Structure 1
Amino acid sequence: MSLEETLQQAIAHHQAGELGEAITLYRALPAETSSSAGVANLLAIALDQTGDAAGAETALAEVFSAGTDDVEALSNYLALLLRRGAVRDGLEVLSQLAALGADDPSLWQQTADAARAQGGAVDALAVADHGISRHGDSAGLHLLRATALLATPEPEAALNAFRRVRLIRPDLPEAENDLGGLALGISDNDGAARHFRAATILRPQFADAFANLALALTACGHLENAATTARTAVKIEPLSLQALAVAGEIEAKRGDPGMAATLFRRAVLSDPGSAQALNNFASGQKDLADIDGARTAFERARTIDPTLAVVHRNLGMLLADVAEMTGARAAYDRAIALTPNDIGLRVKAAFAFSTITGSRAEIDVIRARLIEELEQLSASGAKLSDPVREVGLTNFYLAYHGLNDREIQARIANIYLDLCPALDFTAPHCTHPKDIAGRRLRVGFMSRYFHSHSVRFISEGIVTGLDQEKFEVVVISNRSEDEVALFPDGQRADQHVVFAEDLWATQAQVAALELDVLIYGDIGMEPMTYFLGFSRLAPVQCVLQGHPVTTGLLPIDYFICSDLQELPEADEHYTEAVVRLADIPVCYQPLAEPAAVTRADYDLPADAHLYFCPQTLFKFHPDFDPILGDILARDPKALILLLAEPTPYRMDQLMARLDQSIGDTARIRWVPRQSADRYYGLLQLCEVMLDTPHFCGGNTTIQALGLGVPPVTLAGEFVRGRMTIGWLRAIEMDEELAAKTPKQFADIAVRLATDPEWRAEIVKKIEARKSELFEQTAFIRELERFLLAAHAAALSGQTRLRWLERKTG
């Protein structure tokens, strides 16, 4: 059989799908035939079709080395090399094609694409530039060049490259989409939306562009439009991971975690091997409070792709939220190893310390380590661009250590100013405060927690009680006026402002209100108001007792408290000036009726002495353990009730500590959290309410007193441990119920539980005076006098007015 007949027979077998026979015949043909390159190309195609890509590449490498001019063989060899990621070898083949005049622009695009996929932005750029030198009018090559520039520290060059693409091909949707991404990356949200919208007009079925447009609309604050746009992206490509992820994130922001979880689940079903899809699904389960499900999904994602830093970061945040700080720190450290320049993540890691401490020595170690890590970060020259977004937490748990926080709060504030100098902002109107002659004093009240929260109970009486003939009241909240509903029917604030969920936008938003006085309901509970507190947004800035610890922030001028609560030396506890009002600055509304319940309704024994401590578990300082142990030792019928948490981590940590410190914890029982009426009912069934030392109850204390239930307290040094003694002083019950030593605390508690006659006397005294604790407004008149005086002082350049009006009568 002649060579030509052998070749034709091989081709026939090949066309019939008989690849083995074809390969045998192709290999039988001598390499020196005139059509050797063509034969090698056919052999390579057959081998590749059998899955032997390496054999195919070897067959073509031989003819390339021999210097062939067969364009088809060279093109196929290039394709094989690029598929393997051998970009540099591919460039040699492409150069040979160029020498033959056969370097179609698409080949340069494929090579540049392969270089970019390998993560070599510079190589991709070089390939695109070389291709453009030969095909200057190729919009595709210019688009690749622009995209490659996105991965370099040259955003302006990328922008110019995209503009060049638009000049060549004004109708190229990919260019508009990438331009939108560039604009979004520099926070030009409106510009990004314009480009993404243009891309969707040029290609109405461009799902990625719709998803990106949804992201831009979200950044612009147009959440409902963003949701509609994201749904369009999902409708176009129901299995698109990007579209499903964006749609899910937006539904979560809209407050529909169920729909978000459904979308994230669809993405996982679409691609079960996608670590990013599992990460999103886990985030959705976290929003649904399915902590175990979220943790499992994060860990699966971590197994699939251990290099995906966001998974480790999110797992760390989940574990920190449920107080599993050892695991949180480990997850953060893995994320930091992958993204060492993520400064916010390094701050999160520094704050991942145990919230159930074992001893005072452990507390000292925690605080020293925290400052050491933060100061190292500051000294490194690292910077944050948006601490709310990047850090997303406050110094909240330091307040529960039972120590003077003035120095540590101030040091942390200074570190944040080093990390993010933009925090130091002064609203223009504050440089020259305006006289209030002929107008009302404009007072803003700001908090995220003006809804059903302890901060609301502390703040609402003040907000609604100011004389609106003298004061213009502005409420600044993250919720609408109807959702907050601070004012009774027929009344309302002069202005209600919903702040943006963006630090810099909120900073500008509050500055534009030109307030005379800004009063924070709390600082330190959540990141927005904490980081906003670094700014001077009003000539006079105050904070209420929503989080009763000094802020450490110099722009906060005054801490509002009461002479009934504070010690004479309390000035040493604050960076703010202490405003000691004669009465406690809280106007509580009367309590709702408790549920009609019995002990059996809570599965509690009828003959037990119930000691209820309804505080959050991070208030349980190690110093409290001996008191609890003393009560249990002295009262054989004692049953101590603690409120259970949604997740077991902190409960397990506390019980492990109590097992060590007390020994016998069989008579410490967890009760689930209750609705308000059932909680009040349970409280009334108890002989005594136990207050936590160092950080005592606030709302819980007045609720107990309002129900005639005696609280026992051990007043601390700082106001966060002196809220209860303030209430007791207000009704002259501190001598009976405020202990001076741990032993006396146990004495009072056990006597209340075991001496019914004495307890009845105490309850009678409480009942006779408890009405004085509710709907009190005298302090509001004093606060009004203070606010006017503080503003007058600010006009004269005095920012720290001393204030103390002694109560008379």
Structure 2
Amino acid sequence: MDAHFPNTGNLEEAEKTYQKILQTEPTSPEALQNLAVIYYLTQRYQEAKELLVNGIQENALNARGYYTLGLVLEELGNPGLAAQAYKDAIALDESWSDAYNNLGNIYLSVGNIERAEEIFWQGILADPDQFGSYVNMGNVLVLRCQIDEAMEAYETALQLKPGDEEILQNLEIVRELKKEPEEALLYAGNYFYKHQRYQETIEIFTKFLEHQKGEENLYEALAQSYQKLEEYEKAIKTYQKAIRLYPKVAELYLGLIGVLGETGNPHEVIEIAETASKIFPKQILFKFIYHLTLPIIYNNYQEIEYYRTRYSEELTNFIKKTPLKTEEDKQNALAGISQHSNFFLAAQGYNDLDLQKQYGNWVHQIVAGNYPQWVQPRKMPPVGENGKIRIGYVSGCFWGHTVGKLSLGWVRHHNPEKFEIYCYYLNTRRDEYTETFKKHSHKFSENFTDIETLAQEILADNLHILTYIDIGQQAQITPLAAMRLAPVQCTTWAHPETSGLPTIDYFLSSELMEPANPQQHYSEQVVLLPNLGISYAKPVLPQPTKTRADFQLRNDGVVYLCCQTFHKYLPQYDGVFAAIAQRVPQAQFVFIARPNTAIAERFKQRIKRAFANYNLNADNYCVILPKLNQDDYWNLNLISNIYLDSFGWSGGHTTLEALACNLPVVTYPGELMRGRHSYGILKRLNLTSLIAKEKADYIEIAVRLGTDTLWKNNILERLKTNENLLWDDLKPIKTLEKFYERLVTN
């Protein structure tokens, strides 16, 4: 037990004692904090957190209470909040060395060694006899490659705690590092790489390679660090050098392919994949890449046609050439489909039903060959004694991702009296959205190592209905969705593309967004939920802190916000921006470099050609910003004038956020649901005058908004009057629940 915790003796008896005290003295600091310690020691972390938060509200916590809260929050996976709790403990008791050490280790765990070192020094000054502070300081000094100083710190710690096994092991490590200084560089470089400190990783590994040849994984880490910093040419050259040194390492080819694909070089991707598939004939992923590669961005409309035709032909050929006779064949094919995604097919702007069904049936065949027991029809289980229907939701986007924002209301607003919600999370990223999903789930499962483990858990939960929120976003979800893990399985418009899988029964869509003939676009049965089909909470906007100058925008400009990722901007519509600029001389179109600067540069060259066709210089009108954090993104919305929707694949949550910032939205609905998100949103607001009937009409609306202040203000007044229709709409949730109930009880 921590030295700062009291001896609670028999925990069960102590718990009863403190609970009894709190019944009569609900703000007793001693009872409240001791009970929280007992909850912590018995791993009831949520109960401990609630008790301590209540103690803060009642002003009943001292340094020990905040320290305990820090421990609890770390166990709950909230290091940022834990750090603040440790700071609060230190503010109340500056001699609390354990709080310094825990706080420093939080900074160290995220790679901030500068701040960690500062905190550890403060801990040493607060309590020079605390051996742990010297151990932690030694760890920092090793990462700085200051081996002699690290050895001195560990020796001091050993004097304070003679014979300690951890300290002795650390001393042994630094003595070896002193003999081989290059190993110290590797140790530090690997630490920085693990903690995403990519600039430091590059500096250290480059220094190491000045003295000797590295292993293949060092080159891979170095190349990936360049890639993360969007220094793509250096990443490519590093992979190429590594392949020359280690021509039989498949991961190096995959890394090079990844960089080339990310930077919009599909021809090179296909060439290298073809070469690699010959060197590694058993690595089927290279064949997937060769046959089914799709660009992120296109130079012209002809490229779209070329790659669509190629994809269609190669998909047919690849299916024919991929054997599924032996167990090895089946496992290889499964490995391929678990790592491949055809996400960018939807960006071409066509009805993909036939291609998706062809791919989906093939995926199902591969999955059935590997897991025949998991593709059979399932009987609807009876409702349990509690009378609740068990609904499962699967996604890798239960965080502040577009998909997470769009789908959160389905989980948050379900009736807990009628439904148990089971969330299965295929990602490690966590934020406040993750916590909200978790809070409103009967069960929230995560940290899956493979789809077999996840499939077994889903089956064990004996669900009535399983909804895959976004089939196509992550490769491993597609083979999982090709199984039959629940009697009824659905997908949703959070990824607005048919799955093509015979195991997905329903597509949960929006009645306002779908065209008149939606069933022609889906292999699933379309379910039209009322209005937008979702329940979206009104965003909480920050106070503006940035000016137009911070975004390279003119104070007198008419700022048109164009914030979609570049795969949504098709080349046949580039001239729209130039046509608007020709009639609104003060126009500035602001884009964001998503997904990266390399794709942004390709878009920039394309848009320059479009403006040149109108005898205009795009540089006078177009600004491409680097990727923005959330606060800066909000600020950009708040200082813009008009939001221009993308053609073919419309904005969804970006449109909702723009409207929350009082921006009028211009849209031209496409033939497919994914091109009609903003259309549905504006229909809901009864702002149909912002919906274009053709491309020329889109230009007219955008120009009028930029030049007719009276008309624009009238639009904004109507937006202000009707905007509450968008937020926390419960009608889609009620309809969805009735739909689920019919499926289970009929």
Length-normalised TM-score, structure 1:
0.64
SS of residue paired to 2:476: helix
Q: 1:685 aligns with which of 611, 636, 639?
A: 639
Superposition pairs for residues 257-276 of structure 1, below 5 Å? 268=209, 271-272=212-213, 274-275=215-216
1:407: which partner in 2?
A: 354
Q: 2:572 aligns with which of 614, 623, 637?
A: 623
1:638: which partner in 2?
A: 587
- Measured against aligned partners, the alpha-carbon deviations of 1:343-362 in whole angstroms (never above 9, x if no partner) come to 11110223333222244443
Match for 1:606: what amino acid?
N
2:253: which partner in 1?
A: 312
Kept after mapping to 2: 8 A contact 1:550/1:574: yes
Q: Distance in 1 between matches of 2:268 and 2:429?
A: 40
SS of residue paired to 1:739: coil
Q: Is 1:432 the equivalent of 2:379? A: yes
- Measured against aligned partners, the alpha-carbon deviations of 1:157-190 in whole angstroms (never above 9, x if no partner) come to xxxxxxxxxxxxxxxxxxxxxxxxxxxxxxxxxx
Q: CA deviation at 1:493?
A: 1.7
Q: CA deviation at 1:518?
A: 1.1
1:455: which partner in 2?
A: 403
Q: CA deviation at 1:386?
A: 5.9
Structure 2, unmatched stretches of 5+, are 1-168, 324-328
Match for 1:635: what amino acid?
V
Q: 2:655 aligns with which of 675, 687, 701?
A: 701
Q: Distance in 1 between matches of 2:701 and 2:627?
A: 27
SS of residue paired to 2:244: helix
Percent identity between the aligned chains?
A: 26
Q: Distance in 2 between matches of 1:725 and 1:752?
A: 17
Q: 1:650 aligns with which of 593, 599, 604?
A: 599
Q: 1:550 to 1:249 in 2, by over 3 A?
A: farther
Q: CA deviation at 1:381?
A: 3.5
Kept after mapping to 2: 8 A contact 1:323/1:649: yes
Kept after mapping to 2: 8 A contact 1:302/1:308: yes
Superposition pairs for residues 197-276 of structure 1, below 5 Å? 268=209, 271-272=212-213, 274-275=215-216
Q: Is 1:599 the equivalent of 2:548? A: yes
Q: CA deviation at 1:476?
A: 1.1
Q: 1:628 to 1:772 in 2, by over 3 A?
A: same
Q: Is 1:347 the equivalent of 2:288? A: yes
Q: 1:510 aligns with which of 436, 458, 476?
A: 458
Q: Is 1:375 the equivalent of 2:316? A: yes
Superposition pairs for residues 471-620 of structure 1, below 5 Å? 471-478=419-426, 483=431, 486=434, 491-594=439-542, 595-620=544-569
Kept after mapping to 2: 8 A contact 1:686/1:709: yes
SS of residue paired to 2:257: helix
Q: 1:444 aligns with which of 392, 396, 419?
A: 392
Of 355-364 and 385-394, the range deviating more from structure 2: 385-394
Q: 1:311 to 1:243 in 2, by over 3 A?
A: farther
Q: Distance in 2 between matches of 1:419 and 1:388?
A: 6
Q: 1:268 to 1:678 in 2, by over 3 A?
A: same
Match for 1:533: what amino acid?
A
Q: Distance in 1 between matches of 2:451 and 2:484?
A: 14
Q: CA deviation at 1:270?
A: 7.5
Q: Is 1:744 the equivalent of 2:700? A: no
Q: Distance in 1 between matches of 2:668 and 2:503?
A: 33
Q: How many residues align structurally? A: 563
SS of residue paired to 2:574: helix
Match for 2:580: what amino acid?
I
Kept after mapping to 2: 8 A contact 1:268/1:278: no
SS of residue paired to 1:527: coil
Kept after mapping to 1: 8 A contact 2:511/2:530: yes
Q: 1:374 to 1:560 in 2, by over 3 A?
A: same
Q: 1:311 to 1:514 in 2, by over 3 A?
A: same
Q: Distance in 1 between matches of 2:585 and 2:455?
A: 57
Q: Is 1:764 the equivalent of 2:717? A: yes
Match for 2:350: what amino acid?
L
SS of residue paired to 1:658: helix
Q: CA deviation at 1:677?
A: 3.0
SS of residue paired to 1:605: coil
Q: Distance in 1 between matches of 2:458 and 2:332?
A: 17
SS of residue paired to 1:583: coil
SS of residue paired to 1:524: coil
Q: CA deviation at 1:276?
A: 5.2
Kept after mapping to 1: 8 A contact 2:226/2:235: yes
Q: Distance in 1 between matches of 2:181 and 2:334?
A: 30
SS of residue paired to 1:553: coil
- Measured against aligned partners, the alpha-carbon deviations of 1:621-680 in whole angstroms (never above 9, x if no partner) come to 123223222212222222211112464321222223233334232322212333333322
Q: 1:490 to 1:244 in 2, by over 3 A?
A: closer
- Measured against aligned partners, the alpha-carbon deviations of 1:382-415 in whole angstroms (never above 9, x if no partner) come to 4452667545231100111110011111112233
Match for 2:516: what amino acid?
P
Q: 1:295 to 1:388 in 2, by over 3 A?
A: farther
Larger radius of gyration: 1
Match for 1:737: what amino acid?
L
Kept after mapping to 1: 8 A contact 2:223/2:234: yes
Superposition pairs for residues 61-76 of structure 1, below 5 Å? none
Match for 2:379: what amino acid?
H
Q: Distance in 2 between matches of 1:450 and 1:468?
A: 19
Q: CA deviation at 1:554?
A: 1.4
1:385: which partner in 2?
A: 331
Kept after mapping to 1: 8 A contact 2:399/2:429: no
Q: 1:374 to 1:248 in 2, by over 3 A?
A: farther
Q: CA deviation at 1:288?
A: 6.3
Q: Distance in 2 between matches of 1:272 and 1:397?
A: 39
- Measured against aligned partners, the alpha-carbon deviations of 1:674-709 in whole angstroms (never above 9, x if no partner) come to 333332222232221110111010011111111211
SS of residue paired to 2:667: strand
1:659: which partner in 2?
A: 608
Match for 1:760: what amino acid?
N
- Measured against aligned partners, the alpha-carbon deviations of 1:319-358 in whole angstroms (never above 9, x if no partner) come to 2133332332333233223123321111022333322224
Q: Is 1:303 the equivalent of 2:244? A: yes
Asked which structure has the greater RCO (Cα within 8 Å, sep 6+), the reply is 2
Kept after mapping to 2: 8 A contact 1:375/1:415: no
2:94: which partner in 1?
A: none
2:734: which partner in 1?
A: 781
Q: 1:393 to 1:482 in 2, by over 3 A?
A: closer
Q: Distance in 1 between matches of 2:184 and 2:503?
A: 43
Q: 1:259 to 1:535 in 2, by over 3 A?
A: farther
Match for 1:370: what amino acid?
Y
Kept after mapping to 2: 8 A contact 1:427/1:538: no
SS of residue paired to 2:458: helix
2:27: which partner in 1?
A: none
Q: CA deviation at 1:479?
A: 5.3
Superposition pairs for residues 102-113 of structure 1, below 5 Å? none
- Measured against aligned partners, the alpha-carbon deviations of 1:252-309 in whole angstroms (never above 9, x if no partner) come to 7888879987997798577416455423432455456654543332122133344544
Q: Is 1:720 the equivalent of 2:667? A: no
Superposition pairs for residues 11-160 of structure 1, below 5 Å? none
Q: 1:316 to 1:460 in 2, by over 3 A?
A: same
Q: CA deviation at 1:530?
A: 2.0
